[in-house]
Amino acid sequence: MTVESVKPPTSAAAQASQLREPPLAGGAVPLLGHGLKLVRDPLAFMSRLREHGDVVRLKLGPKTVYAVTTPALTGALALSPDFKIDGPLWESLEGLLGKEGVATANGPRHRRQRRTIQPAFRLDAIPAYGPIMEEEAHGLTTRWRPGETIDCTSESFRVAVRIAARCLLRGEYMDERAERLCNALAVVFQGMYRRMVVPLGPLYRLPLPANREFNRALADLHLLVDEIIAERRASGQKPDDLLTALLEAKDENGDPIGEQEIHDQVVAILTPGSETVASTIMWLLQVLAAHPEHADRVREEVESVTDGRPVAFEDVRKLRHTNNVVVEAMRLRPAVWILTRRAVTDTSLGGYRIPAGADIVYSPYAIQRDPHSYPDHLEFDPDRWLPERAKDVPKYAMSPFSVGNRKCPSDHFSMAQLSLITAAIATKYRFEQVAGSDDATRVGITLRPQRLLLKPVPR
């Protein structure tokens, strides 16, 4: 059949059915397809996919998954209404963390929930969190003793949970709870990742020690959230914060939202909030230790702005190099390294056919390290974010918070705390890795160092 003989398409679906099928990525083996490669070294696997095409098909066992490999197409995917949040990553999160929170909802419920949480994250709401962020950032520098080893995993988790909980849920009681939350989240996230990449359903129900530990941690996470909600209600107070907004929220019919949704919303905000920020703080500590020349520049910049007083929230917007260090750390080690969507209709991406129901995957890690987008792509070079150079970075080649209607609501909130923490700790200390430290990348739901142990050396 020639192209001329094709009747004009009557619908998007008909149009989509006439498109090409994306090429199959190389290296598939019988039965397992690309599964083994993906499980063995997911970062390297995802980073090589662009060699095979802009959109490629992957075989994961019997299932076909589509991978998008160019910045422009990741933007098109995130912005198109033909795709929704779904797929193995989200199903696994939903099953464990709840089905009614903003991170996994779609359609009108999602829009309503975003409207409820958005005011707490707006740019003009962030300065109100400044004093807490300052206290927590400087709290780290006084907590750490010169010469003593810092376990960066627990310290980063601790400060991330405390900032999220104190700013958004206004809990003054957070120390003991922060500890519990950190422990619960660490076990839950590790277990969730395992359940996602090795989906052996019934095996995870056996009374094995690892399963019992996982179930205990998950139960404690939900219990903690119930306690936080119950305590706020018992206090009779309604401070102007995210928890009040959630407790007072109304559904599409104007009725109060149900208990389950309130619970799931708190979980859906606390869990992505602490794991992502904690992982990024770990990488910032690693960067300060590995690149003392940039740590020195951060300190010089901070001192030129503060003239020796402790760095304050208002200083952050003047700290250009500090901010560029944070952005560059996030480029090379994005906490969220993989994202998935599901096609809601027969559709297309980059001229390729994507059938309804297909799972689509892409990796911000691969996109942000792509040599097509970045000269010296593996170099840690914060100056690439100076305006005269940043203008050459292709659109969507640096979107660690994603774009479109699922964009992270917390981009300003996160960047403010990350820059402030970096400024505060680099002004007070140099960092050195100690024996037993391992800064190799550990792949889980987020990326973080295997086990980063640092010695703070006073400046």
Distance of closest approach, residue 8 Cβ to ligand HEM, in angstroms: 35
* # binding residues, ligand HEM (CB under 6 A): 25
Among 322, 347, 410, 422, the residue binding ligand HEM under the rule CB under 6 A is 410
Question: Closest Cα partner for 246 from 266, 227, 226, 260?
Answer: 266
Q: Which residue's CB is nearer to ligand HEM, number 86 or number 346?
A: 86
Q: Which residue's CB is nearer to ligand HEM, number 149 or number 340?
A: 340
Burial track 103-115 (b if 16+ CB lie within 10 A, e otherwise) = bbbeeebbebbbe
| Binding flag, residue 342, ligand HEM (CB under 6 A) | no
Question: Closest Cα partner for 248 from 415, 120, 82, 56?
Answer: 120
Choices 20-28, 148-156, 230-238, 333-341 (CB under 6 A): range interacting with ligand HEM: 333-341
Contact string (CB under 6 A) for ligand HEM, positions 252-281, x = contact = ----------------xx--xx--xx--x-
Burial class (CB in 10 A: 0-12, 13-18, 19+), 145: exposed
- In what helix (H) or strand (E) does residue 340 lie, and over which residues does it extend? strand 339-343
Contact string (CB under 6 A) for ligand HEM, positions 194-233, x = contact = ----------------------------------------
| Binding flag, residue 114, ligand HEM (CB under 6 A) | yes
Q: What are phi and psi of 243, to 5 degrees?
A: -65, -45
Question: Closest Cα partner for 276 from 104, 158, 445?
Answer: 445
Choices 136-144, 214-222, 302-310, 332-340 (CB under 6 A): range interacting with ligand HEM: 332-340
| Binding flag, residue 185, ligand HEM (CB under 6 A) | no
Question: Closest Cα partner for 100 from 204, 187, 210, 225?
Answer: 225
Among 47, 414, 422, 437, the residue binding ligand HEM under the rule CB under 6 A is 414
| Binding flag, residue 118, ligand HEM (CB under 6 A) | no
| Binding flag, residue 335, ligand HEM (CB under 6 A) | yes
| Binding flag, residue 164, ligand HEM (CB under 6 A) | yes
Q: How far is CA 222 from CA 78, 184, 225, in A?
A: 30, 10, 5
Q: State the SS3 of 287-323.
A: HHHHCHHHHHHHHHHHHHHHCCCCCCHHHHHHCHHHH
Q: Which residues bind ligand HEM (CB under 6 A)?
A: 85, 102-103, 114, 164, 168, 268-269, 272-273, 276-277, 280, 335-336, 339, 400-402, 406, 408-410, 413-414
